[in-house]
Amino acid sequence: MKGMNAWLFVQTDEIPSAIKPYRSFQKERKLEDNDFAGAVFEGKFYAPDNFKALETMPTRAEVYAKMLGALQSPAINLVSTLQAPAIEVIMVLKAYVKKLEDESNNA
């Protein structure tokens, strides 16, 4: 570790939100050339080239939202499929009732 060093300890899984203030500091001070030499996350070392993977990681809330959307989609399709025949029966019954009403009005 030569030159200027800074250590960032994050006690959260929300790495992108923890790094955001540092990135703002870098831009304010025009220190974009001084970047992370690496990172360790869950026991794995990330070299500077791989550090962007940590920075662009989705938040826990985003992961949950994607999972919920993936789980809801098949259920919504199933309900739509089950409702389709019922809607068709209702439409046929409505047409039959209308036909009966028209016939009784014409008679």
Say what the pLDDT of residue 53 is: 77
Contact present, 48 and 35 (Cβ < 8 Å): yes
Cβ neighbours of 54 (radius 10 Å): 18
- Read off the amino acid at residue 50: N
Pairwise CA distance, residues 10 & 41, whole Å: 10
Q: Domain map of the chain by residue range?
A: 1-57, 59-106
Q: How many CA atoms lie within 13 Å of 35's alpha carbon, on the beta-carbon side?
A: 10
Q: Which residues of the chain have pLDDT under 50?
A: none
Say what the pLDDT of residue 41 is: 78
- Read off the amino acid at residue 39: A
Say what the pLDDT of residue 84 is: 73
- Read off the amino acid at residue 62: E
